[in-house]
Homo-oligomer: A and B are copies of this chain.
Amino acid sequence: MSSVIGYYTTKYGEIWNKSLFDLVEEVMIGVLKTTHIEKEQIDAIFFGNMLAGVLENNLHASAKISEILGVHIPVFRVEAACASGGIAFHLAHQYLASHKDETVLVVGAEKMNDYPVETITDALMAASSGEEQEAGLTFPGLYALLANTYMETFHYTEENLAYVAFKNHYHGSLNEKAQYQKQILLETILKSPYVADPLKVLDCSPISDGASAVILSSSSSLIKKNKNTTRVLATEVATDTISLKNRKSLLELAATRIASEKAFSKTKLKRKNIKVAEIHDCFTIAELFAMEDLGFWKKGEAGKRIKELSTMLGSNSDLIVNTSGGLKAAGHPIGATGIKQIGEIYLQITNQAEKRQIKHCQYGLAHNVGGSGGTAVVTILGS
């Protein structure tokens, strides 16, 4: 059984004075310092990144990271589009299952703002099918197809989507590492310009630079030595078709549902045991889907339930969602997101979430999605 024993993240946003590997160096050094661990105590490194190859002909991160830290240990770069961070964490946990008494660094990073938005929009389409690329679709376009199907089927309007952004921007205002730290009024969200009908600018997560890192350990002495630790109770992965047109249903992300069922079945926890969740809200509609696919709310119910704002900090409900601000307000540096989600749950469970702290938080869940749902990772942490 491995435990998260430390977390460090850069602020997310537009970071003009650092390269991708400057950010990687910052969080590796940062998390080692925070946890008082020497680099010699690290046995392997898992690294999640999506776009450095496409954007800047920058691959072979294993050797680049080896050079930065001055180590010869195994370094593994994994890529699963926007789930790259979650997959890196998953494989690190698998690795420790057969490496007792070892400790690994898990790092995610992305550098996006050095390129024009059109370049980024095209590059992100690498996570979709060739056919969807050729059809001129974009990720806002793909999620707009899902949003329209959902809204038509269950009779919702754009207002139902907007509540997700409203809540998550409020949470972002409490997180000094968030890209956007300002509350946004519901009417501002509803008046923002369309990107892909029905999704507006303020339904979309931004383009972000940033890196995040956690230390994961199976060493009982190291876990005991650190006062802030939380166990990994489950981390499960499922996949689905790359193309939306080949899905059985456009009213769910099946990969999320399958990964979630596996994770809850492994931990034997009930949904109501989860007090805090970081959910993959790349677009507002994605949080509504996820609340249903993860099993927190019934299918078709999310549009209504979100308006109660029961998942917002300050509510007395059982479950608060995206206290970091989510991808929507905290930002979405692709490869880093999955690590930041786990880091936020770690902060909550170990009582380090400051202004965003939830009371009596024993169990939390992180949910990371690749593309339009082709990959999903569901991780449950608990003390």
Tell whether A238 is near chain B: CB-to-CB under 8 Å: yes
Interface residues of A in 239-254 (CB under 8 A from B): 239-243, 246, 254
**How many chain-A residues does the 8 Å CB contact rule pick out?**
58
Q: Are B59 and A126 in contact (CB under 8 A)?
A: yes
Q: Are A239 and B72 in contact (CB under 8 A)?
A: yes
Q: Are A80 and B58 in contact (CB under 8 A)?
A: no
Query: Could you say which of B54, B74, B130, B258 contacts A53, with CB atoms under 8 Å apart?
Result: B54
Q: Are A67 and B241 in contact (CB under 8 A)?
A: yes
Tell whether A66 is near chain B: CB-to-CB under 8 Å: yes
Which residues on B sit within 8 Å (CB–CB) of A90?
Answer: 74
Stretch in A141-149, A288-296, A357-365, A370-378 touching the partner: A370-378
Number of copies of this protein chain within its complex: 2
Using A57-B133, A72-B258 as known contacts, say yes or no to A63 and B239 having CB atoms under 8 A apart: yes
Q: Are B375 and A62 in contact (CB under 8 A)?
A: yes
Contact pattern, A 73-114, Cβ under 8 Å of B = 1, otherwise 0: 111111111010001001100110110000000000000000
Return A332 CB to nearest CB of chain B, in Å: 16
Do most interface residues of chain A lie in helix, strand or loop, or is the interface mixed? mixed
Query: Could you say which of B54, B72, B238, B258 contacts A57, with CB atoms under 8 Å apart?
Result: B54
Q: Are A66 and B130 in contact (CB under 8 A)?
A: no
Q: For the complex, give the distance between the alpha carbons of A65 and B81 in Å.
A: 14
Q: For the complex, give the distance between the alpha carbons of A65 and B255 in Å.
A: 14
Q: For the complex, give the distance between the alpha carbons of A292 and B249 in Å.
A: 57
Closest Cβ neighbor of A127 among chain B residues: B60
Q: Are A60 and B81 in contact (CB under 8 A)?
A: yes
Closest Cβ neighbor of A54 among chain B residues: B53
Using A98-B97, A239-B72 as known contacts, say yes or no to A128 and B60 having CB atoms under 8 A apart: yes
Return A379 CB to nearest CB of chain B, in Å: 13
Q: Are A240 and B66 in contact (CB under 8 A)?
A: yes
Q: For the complex, give the distance between the alpha carbons of A61 and B126 in Å.
A: 9
Tell whether A279 is near chain B: CB-to-CB under 8 Å: no
Return A131 CB to nearest CB of chain B, in Å: 11
Q: Are A63 and B98 in contact (CB under 8 A)?
A: no
Return A286 CB to nearest CB of chain B, in Å: 16
Tell whether A117 is near chain B: CB-to-CB under 8 Å: no
Tell whether A183 is near chain B: CB-to-CB under 8 Å: no
Which residues on B sit within 8 Å (CB–CB) of A71?
Answer: 239
Tell whether A125 is near chain B: CB-to-CB under 8 Å: yes
Closest Cβ neighbor of A236 among chain B residues: B74
Q: Are A91 and B67 in contact (CB under 8 A)?
A: no
Which residues on B sit within 8 Å (CB–CB) of A94?
Answer: 94-95, 98
Known interface pairs A62-B374, A65-B239, A67-B374; 14 further A-B residue pairs with C-beta atoms within 8 A, sorted by A's residue number: A54-B59, A60-B79, A63-B239, A63-B370, A66-B239, A66-B241, A72-B254, A74-B237, A75-B239, A75-B375, A76-B91, A77-B78, A78-B79, A97-B97
Q: List 10 A-B contacts (CB under 8 A).
A: A51-B53, A54-B59, A60-B127, A60-B128, A60-B242, A60-B375, A63-B241, A66-B374, A67-B241, A76-B87
